[in-house]
Chains A and B, each alone.
Chain A
Amino acid sequence: MLVVFLGLSLTGTGGGVDVPISAVLLLLGVFGGFFAAGIYVGAALGVLGLLAGFAFSDRPFWTFLGQTAWSPSSSFVLVAVPLFLLMGEILLRAGLSERLYRALNLWLNRMPGGLLHTNIVASGVFSAISGSSVATAATMGSVAMPFFQGRGYDPKMVMGSLAAGGALGNLIPPGITFIIYALITETSVGALYLAAVGPSILVMGLFIAVILLKKNAAPPPGPVIPLGEKIRGLVGLIPTILLILIVLGTIYAGLATPTESAALGVVAAIGIAVVERRFSFRMLHASAEATARNTAMIGLILLGAYVLNYVITMLGVPQMMAGLVSGLPLPPWAIMALIIGFYLALGTFMEGFSMIITTIPVIFPVVTALGYDPIWFGVVVTMLVEIALISPPDGTVLYVLQGLRKDGGAIGDVFAGVLPFVAVYILAIVLMMIMPDIALWLPRAAGP
């Protein structure tokens, strides 16, 4: 990817730009150095932002850091994250996640890949209620990870499949990215949701295929379990299904917003723990402590990411790069391929949301002028944001999962584990370029 941008910088098409493209590359280099030196991720992002600001900005940007840090700290979009984390901690300590996985295992243990599939499927189900990838990864991660402890699964694939599952959070409707895209581009949220159905199925299918191919990642198939035992095992699913009904049901019945439903989930989880006689003050205290710790862990990274974001958006770097890509004299498909490459590159060091917010206004008119369908592009962009969240080295979902991890492994496992999933996610986008109807048939068939 760097080669592409080096090439672009030599063509010198970026008129009226204050930051030379070589400086952007230099920043990427410093970024890599920080990571190699083991600097705290939040500090690496933040200090990089400070360096970029002091080097290129003619504004007193540091006087605005308080506001920059306050916005994400108090953002309603992120409120659901600690609440879902708390729900996960309670479920874990009440033994519910254990029972869920045990029940699923009765049915899946003969399938190559075993329980890794449940990571994808369960994340998919959760994504249908949650509009946030980070929340999806956080919840499924805290529910699923303890179960894999010491059962012979390859930690790389465990982490990779959980990250991949998290990256369904925004793609499977509802999703915050669609809503923001629709706001900026004046497209229909409803149509975007419909268009996301086909690609969601495609991506989930590809994920499952990855797990099937990596069959060594799971322990060998267990003995055949009699059907009676399997059916009896379904009882273990009841509390979880109840919880999903509460969280999902209140949203669909119009009783609560997705954020509010996270709170209902916490209270319901406590209720279930009480009924199951697994509730204790100590258990709630430990859940609260773990939630505070994991929230702060994610929070520090978000603070750094927002400072970096503030500085580079203020300098106009994303818009400059977007303008560069879209201004090239190439055939439409090549420009589209470049745009996708541009988002993949930007996604390695920028947070997904601000990535689309800052660049869509520049890119979108180009995309429609090239004759691409705005709804189709909205789905592609959402997929690119999801990829940004799980692509190393700066993928928020990856850090969330690493933070939830109990086996003490290195983050390298997460990076290595997620790569095959990132690859097939990109493959899905290529397939959508060849066959746009993967996204567009449903809104056309079901549209108003």
Chain B
Amino acid sequence: MERPAPLILRAATGLRRAVGVLGHAMGLVAGWGFVLCAFFITFDVLARSILRVSTQSTTEITGYMLAFGLSWGLAHTLTQRSHVRIDMLVNRLPQRIRIWLHLLSLLALGVFMAFIANGAWDLVDESLLFNATDISLLRTPLAIPQGLWAAGMVVFLVLIACMLVENLLLAILGDARQVERNLSSRGYDEEAQEALEALGVTETKP
């Protein structure tokens, strides 16, 4: 029988979940963005060769799509524990050391993303100051794609901060197993489950 978690921990977990849900939704939007991007380019290629008309902006638009998809998927990927770490050595250490290395890893990610997210907002700010556009036919104001891109970075940073607080509390309270569950890389069973689902094995083999 576990004792109820302290209020502060429950608050941290709740906050982390809320940001995680937001990140998940953003990840799905990012994925569908790529699908739309594929159809958009295909449309442009066909229109160009059959109708001889073109939006003439596929290079720019798809570039923005990549930036958007990349950054909006970051938080979701962290929740799915799919960002790459080299944990060969870490996994051989005892759990009580391991969880601190998990936290250190998350902290390093937080520091790095703090610089990037800050730089991203400065970039948007600068683009607003310049009233900058690209030089394609569309003259897209750069602050729009850059702003969306920066937003993804910020949500990612906030999620990292929430996870850091939550798991630091867990570590201090001595719940190492939960930290391990939250922060270690994806395990065999999860990956295998996904692969089987993707292959549709469960459907085709009675």
Contacts and interface: CB of A to CB of B under 8 A. Distances in A.
Asked whether the complex places CB atoms of A and B closer than 8 A, the reply is: yes
A285 B35 CA distance: 9
A304 B83 CA distance: 12
Given A39-B108, A50-B112, A301 B63 contact: no
Contacts of A289: 27-28, 31
A41 B153 CA distance: 17
Contacts of B72: 292, 296
B56 interface: no
A406 interface: yes
B69 A82 contact: yes
Contact of B35 (A38, A76, A266): A266
Q: Name B's interface SS.
A: helix
Contact of A259 (B62, B64, B126, B153): B62
Given A37-B90, A293-B73, A301 B116 contact: no
Contacts of A46: 112, 115-116
B104 A405 contact: no
Given A40-B84, A260-B58, A73 B67 contact: yes
A70 B42 contact: no
Interface string B151-184: 0010000000000000000000000000000000
Given A286-B198, A289-B27, A47 B45 contact: no
A146 B196 CA distance: 9
Given A74-B64, A300-B74, A405 B119 contact: no
A315 interface: no
A11 interface: no
Contacts of A153: none
Contacts of B146: 70
Interface in A70-107: 70, 73-76, 78-79, 81-83, 86, 89, 92-93, 95, 98
Given A42-B109, A267-B38, A250 B116 contact: no
Q: Could you say which interface size class chain B belongs to?
A: 35 or more
> Chain A interface: which size bin?
35 or more
Given A73-B71, A292-B76, A411 B198 contact: no
Interface in B82-128: 82-91, 101-102, 104-105, 108-109, 111-113, 115-116, 118-124, 126
Contacts of A146: 195, 198-199
A412 interface: yes
A66 interface: yes
Contact of B112 (A43, A299, A403): A43
Contacts of A300: 74, 77, 83-84
A67 B122 CA distance: 9
A39 B44 CA distance: 42
Nearest to A267: B42
Contacts, number: 266
Contacts of B123: 66-67, 70
A77 B104 CA distance: 34
A290 B111 CA distance: 27
Contacts of B58: 260
Considering residues B37, B82, B119, which has the most beta carbons from chain A within 10 angstroms of its beta carbon? B119
A211 to B, nearest CB: 24
Residue in A63, A69, A264, A287 with the greatest tally of chain B CB atoms within 10 Å: A69
B192 interface: yes
A83 B87 CA distance: 29
Contacts of B2: none
Most buried by A among B27, B149, B198: B198
Contacts of B124: 66
Interface string A287-328: 111111111110111011001000000000000000000000
Interface string A275-288: 00000000011111
Contacts of A409: 188
Contacts of A256: 45
A79 B84 contact: no
Contacts of B118: 65-66
A52 B44 CA distance: 44
A64 interface: yes
A12 to B, nearest CB: 34
A348 interface: no
Contacts of A411: 84, 86-88
Contacts of B145: 74
B28 A93 contact: no
A255 interface: yes
A65 B77 contact: no
Given A79-B62, A295-B70, A402-B84, A37 B115 contact: no
A410 B187 CA distance: 10
Contacts of A303: 116
B130 interface: no
A296 B34 contact: no
A297 B77 contact: yes
A105 to B, nearest CB: 16
A83 B63 CA distance: 12
Contact of B108 (A43, A290, A296, A412): A43
A68 B112 CA distance: 13
Nearest to A256: B45
14 contacts: A40-B109, A41-B83, A62-B115, A63-B122, A64-B119, A66-B124, A67-B119, A74-B66, A86-B35, A285-B28, A288-B35, A296-B73, A297-B84, A303-B116
The 5 closest A-B pairs by CB, nearest first: A288-B31, A66-B123, A408-B188, A296-B73, A66-B119
